[in-house]
Structure 1
Amino acid sequence: MKIIAFLLSVGPLIILHELGHYFAARACGVKVVRFSIFMGKIIWSRKFGRDQTEWAISAIPIGGYVKMLDDRDPATRATTPEDQKREFTRQNVWKRIAIIGAGPLTNFIVAIFLLAGLFMHGVPEPGNKVRIVPVESVAYQAGLRGGEAIVAVDGEPVEAWGEIHMAFVRAAMDKQEVRLDLRQEGGGNIAAVIPASAMSASKLDGDVLGSLGLMVQRQAATIGMVFPDGAAARAGLQSGDVVLAVDGKPMIDGITTIDAIRASQGQPLAVLVQRGAEQITLQITPQIEQSDKIARIKAEVLSPAVTVMVVRGPVDAVAKGASATWEQSVLIVKMIGKMFTGEVSVKNLTGPITIADVADQTIRHGLVETLKLIAAISIGLGVMNLLPIPVLDGGLLLYYSLEVLTGRPLPPKVDQHVRTVGFVLFVMLMSLALYNDVTRLIS
């Protein structure tokens, strides 16, 4: 199932990326010899069209490529006067830039329109209300207590938790203070400032908001699956019950409910639940697991975030899609930079195994979440392909930018050496990503 999820989420994006190169090459008059999905040994191919372009599927499910007539490769060297006019390296530098840049550009365009479509349809997202704030937290010191709605961050209006999260991550990257405009439950408006010192101390590869004491407001705890051999089942707890109080203390959400169960240390609890139209008190004695010494009742405690529906008109949806694509792209670039400086762990670099796992889980949550994931992957593919590594699109664009500045291409020997180094760097990067994937899988 995970392999299918990976192919469904990443495969179309790879095809669209390579089609960007393909159609740009055709538009610039360059002959395409092969169009391959994935890399390595070809496992299936067919030739079509006037140019008899080979359309292929290769064995290694990473990336893809468009092979054009290219005198640098003996296998694709132009041998006739007509082909020489359609050979890649004989085109002017601006055509080469257009052909190479078309792949990543396609990924960004796909992400913009996917996100725009979602915003026009309406996207249910966690809202902007804050859960109760821990007393010892930075947010508490700034004046937040819980129940407030964050209506603007640094002057920019927000209505969903994802927007708030992105704003805080940007501030943590830049080590800047965050100014919050808040609407209290009673209707009054207040402001709060999270200092730059707290933002600079934030762990970028962790939960930035959670580390400051900020969590999204959640719904009341609802019981999901009740396991037949557990304390919950023995006490008569049923799926669908809503937990109102434990030992007389109101339970605002699933987190407080789980905390109360774990704090019981195996002592009996009086659990007040709403079941249909009536309220029932159940006596539940949590069991302490010998493996980790944690008290449990063996029942799912569900507490989803309070959500809002984010909807935009066509023009605003495209603008918001473009803005979100730009912000995520900048965030990825900054994260990569922080990896090089050691501020973010290289363990955050992921490969196809992690993508397959996330895709498999996301598909189970419906079409909207799946399309959001595909948009995020498309942005990631676009950014990663623009990295200045010679075997990637970004490395080639760097070549051609230097050619524009100097008026001449790199000498062939230098070009070959740089490509070799770039290939080694690419293999190292992919090896690290796969190592992180396997480590996550094992742990």
Structure 2
Amino acid sequence: MNLLIELLAFAVAIGVLVVVHEYGHYRVARWCGVKVLRFSIGFGKPLFQWVSPKTGTEWTIAALPLGGYVKMLDERETGAAPIPAELLSQAFNRKSVWRRFAIVAAGPVANFLLAIVLFALVFATGVTEPAAVVAAPAPNTPAAQAGFDGGETIVAVRAENAGESEPVRSWSDLRWKLLGAAFDHKRVVLSAKDAHGTSDFQLDLRGLGEKDVDDDFMSHLGFEPGGGKLTVAGVQPGSAAQKAGLVAGDRLRAVDGIPTDNATAFIAYVKSHAGKPLTLQVERGAQAGGAAGKLDEITLVPQLQRDEASGQQVGRIGAELATQVPSIDVRYGPVESLQLGARRTWDLAVYSVRMFGRMIVGEASLKNLSGPVTIADYAGKSARLGPSAFLSFLALVSISLGVLNLLPIPVLDGGHLLYYLVEAVTGKVVSDRWQLVFQRAGLACIVALSAIALFNDLARLIHF
């Protein structure tokens, strides 16, 4: 069933994105007076064809649904019959350089517009997200150095000594605001509420390395969702947890006197204390055999085990954990939703360009490239989470498709746009000879990127 959901979600995602992208080319081509011969979704053998009696465009659905194209009337088309004189004015190559530029740019622009609309729908209809409550940060992290103790709710963020405070509505909102500041290596001021009122915390992001931004940078900063309940979901037979008397339903309140409400931080603490006694403050659940809600102190010693991911020896207690964090319903008005959708689209597009640039110069890992297998996997996962998650995923992939097509690589839209810019500046069309050379180089780049993305997909599947 999961495989079927993934395949259907992937088909819907690719279908929508390809149709929107190609329709952008088609619509602007028609506005510029270019005759469109074929609008095809997919490649290869046609499965369905229909010719519009008004425009003469052949609408096609082909057998291989991994892309699409818009074929326009063009005198440079090799092997084609000569174009009748009365149709020459509708040929793509006869249009001005700026009209050709607009037609080619329309595909990626359509993807960005789709992302804005999808994000706006998510913001307008509302989504339930974790609240911006922070867990107790690990020592020596930027969050700990800023003075966070855990339990604070971050309500606003601003650049140090500049600008107005921007409200923080959820954990996701906080993450995006800190991501932008981290890329610019800024110091920011976070306003947070706790039981004593509202305080300001200065967070220094200037020393954050490229790898820290490349990976899960919120963890590197010391920020994890907090304010919730960390409970035991299950206990492995013969484990340290079972020997100490932990049972499913127990709530973990503190470890060695340190309040704990986040599974990630608790696991990291246990891993670093292999063979050392830990004192847990536990609120007993109904299955503990005593009065539910009773506070007990339990001492246990994490067992030394090999971590498969890192290959290192770490501490484990053999308990399955579940975190229930406080959530908040985030909803915006129509105008604000569009503004936020446009801003989120811009932020993600800039982030994608920066990340790709860092991969080119070696400052970021090529493991960040993903291919169709990963996209299908996330399409299925987001579809199972609900409409909001799937629409957000669709917007994210639409932005990625738009950015990819704008890269100045021949074969892609960005390569053609580069030709037209050269033509606009020099007044001369890039020769067919040079276009052929660049096209081969561009094709080699695309093949290489596809191979890396496919390798990364397979590596994620078999974990090597």
Give the TM-score, by structure 1 length: 0.86
Task: Select the residue among 261, 268, 277 that pairs with 1:252.
Answer: 261
Correspondence list, 1:81-160, <5 A: 81-150=85-154, 151-154=156-159, 155-157=164-166, 158-160=168-170
- The residue number in structure 2 matching 1:42 is 45
Does the 8 Å contact 1:126/1:162 carry over to 2?
Answer: yes
Does the 8 Å contact 1:142/1:192 carry over to 2?
Answer: yes
Does the 8 Å contact 1:390/1:419 carry over to 2?
Answer: yes
Does the 8 Å contact 1:168/1:208 carry over to 2?
Answer: no
Length, aligned pairs only? 437
Task: Select the residue among 364, 373, 381 that pairs with 2:384.
Answer: 364
Does the 8 Å contact 1:270/1:284 carry over to 2?
Answer: no
Where 1:409 maps in the other structure, the secondary structure is coil
- The residue number in structure 2 matching 1:186 is 196
CA distance in 2, matches of 1:247, 1:217: 18
Structure 1 residues 76 and 96 mapped into 2: Cα distance closer, same or farther (>3 Å)?
Answer: farther
Where 2:197 maps in the other structure, the secondary structure is coil
Q: How much is the aligned-residue C-alpha RMSD, in angstroms?
A: 3.2
Query: Is 1:168 aligned to residue 178 of structure 2?
Result: yes
Greater mean alpha carbon deviation, residues 160-169 or residues 343-352: 160-169
Query: Is 1:407 aligned to residue 418 of structure 2?
Result: no
Show CA shifts across 1:253-275 (max 9, x none).
Answer: 43465567765869898853344
Aligned residue type for 2:42: F
Does the 8 Å contact 1:130/1:217 carry over to 2?
Answer: yes
Task: Select the residue among 215, 218, 224 that pairs with 1:209.
Answer: 218
CA distance in 1, matches of 2:90, 2:258: 77
Does the 8 Å contact 1:244/1:251 carry over to 2?
Answer: yes
- The residue number in structure 2 matching 1:9 is 13
Where 1:278 maps in the other structure, the secondary structure is coil
Where 2:34 maps in the other structure, the secondary structure is coil
Tell me the CA shift for residue 178 of structure 1.
Answer: 3.1
CA distance in 2, matches of 1:207, 1:110: 27
Structure 1 residues 94 and 84 mapped into 2: Cα distance closer, same or farther (>3 Å)?
Answer: same
Greater mean alpha carbon deviation, residues 327-336 or residues 256-265: 256-265
- The residue number in structure 1 matching 2:316 is 295
CA distance in 1, matches of 2:50, 2:178: 51
Structure 1 residues 325 and 260 mapped into 2: Cα distance closer, same or farther (>3 Å)?
Answer: closer
CA distance in 2, matches of 1:270, 1:298: 15
Tell me the CA shift for residue 380 of structure 1.
Answer: 1.0
Aligned residue type for 2:196: G
Show CA shifts across 1:62-103 (max 9, x none).
Answer: 432112122222245553223323221112222212211111
Structure 1 residues 62 and 68 mapped into 2: Cα distance closer, same or farther (>3 Å)?
Answer: same
Query: Is 1:334 aligned to residue 354 of structure 2?
Result: yes
Greater mean alpha carbon deviation, residues 133-142 or residues 316-325: 133-142
Tell me the CA shift for residue 230 of structure 1.
Answer: 7.6
Does the 8 Å contact 2:190/2:203 carry over to 1?
Answer: yes
- The residue number in structure 1 matching 2:310 is none
Correspondence list, 1:347-386, <5 A: 347-386=367-406
Structure 1 residues 228 and 195 mapped into 2: Cα distance closer, same or farther (>3 Å)?
Answer: closer
Task: Select the residue among 209, 212, 220 that pairs with 2:229.
Answer: 220
Greater mean alpha carbon deviation, residues 366-375 or residues 22-31: 22-31
Structure 1 residues 81 and 286 mapped into 2: Cα distance closer, same or farther (>3 Å)?
Answer: farther
CA distance in 2, matches of 1:133, 1:250: 10
CA distance in 2, matches of 1:243, 1:145: 18
CA distance in 1, matches of 2:150, 2:328: 18
Task: Select the residue among 293, 303, 306 that pairs with 1:279.
Answer: 293
Does the 8 Å contact 1:71/1:77 carry over to 2?
Answer: no
Query: Is 1:74 aligned to residue 108 of structure 2?
Result: no
Aligned residue type for 1:56: I
Structure 1 residues 248 and 176 mapped into 2: Cα distance closer, same or farther (>3 Å)?
Answer: closer
Greater mean alpha carbon deviation, residues 170-179 or residues 24-33: 170-179
CA distance in 2, matches of 1:439, 1:406: 46
Greater mean alpha carbon deviation, residues 137-146 or residues 87-96: 137-146
CA distance in 1, matches of 2:80, 2:50: 15
Tell me the CA shift for residue 382 of structure 1.
Answer: 1.0
Structure 1 residues 187 and 340 mapped into 2: Cα distance closer, same or farther (>3 Å)?
Answer: same
CA distance in 1, matches of 2:199, 2:276: 43
Does the 8 Å contact 1:352/1:434 carry over to 2?
Answer: yes
CA distance in 2, matches of 1:49, 1:115: 33
Structure 1 residues 323 and 129 mapped into 2: Cα distance closer, same or farther (>3 Å)?
Answer: same
CA distance in 2, matches of 1:368, 1:52: 35
Does the 8 Å contact 1:242/1:275 carry over to 2?
Answer: no
Aligned residue type for 2:451: S
Does the 8 Å contact 2:38/2:72 carry over to 1?
Answer: yes
Where 2:228 maps in the other structure, the secondary structure is coil
Tell me the CA shift for residue 339 of structure 1.
Answer: 1.1
Q: Which runs of 5 or more structure 1 residues have no equivalent in the other structure?
A: none
Show CA shifts across 1:293-339 (max 9, x none).
Answer: 7535454x221443222211111111111111111111111111111
Tell me the CA shift for residue 166 of structure 1.
Answer: 2.5
Identity of aligned residues (%): 35
Task: Select the residue among 57, 66, 73 that pairs with 2:62.
Answer: 57
Query: Is 1:309 aligned to residue 320 of structure 2?
Result: no
Show CA shifts across 1:16-43 (max 9, x none).
Answer: 111111222222222222222234x335
CA distance in 1, matches of 2:235, 2:9: 29
Structure 1 residues 228 and 26 mapped into 2: Cα distance closer, same or farther (>3 Å)?
Answer: same
Does the 8 Å contact 1:182/1:192 carry over to 2?
Answer: no
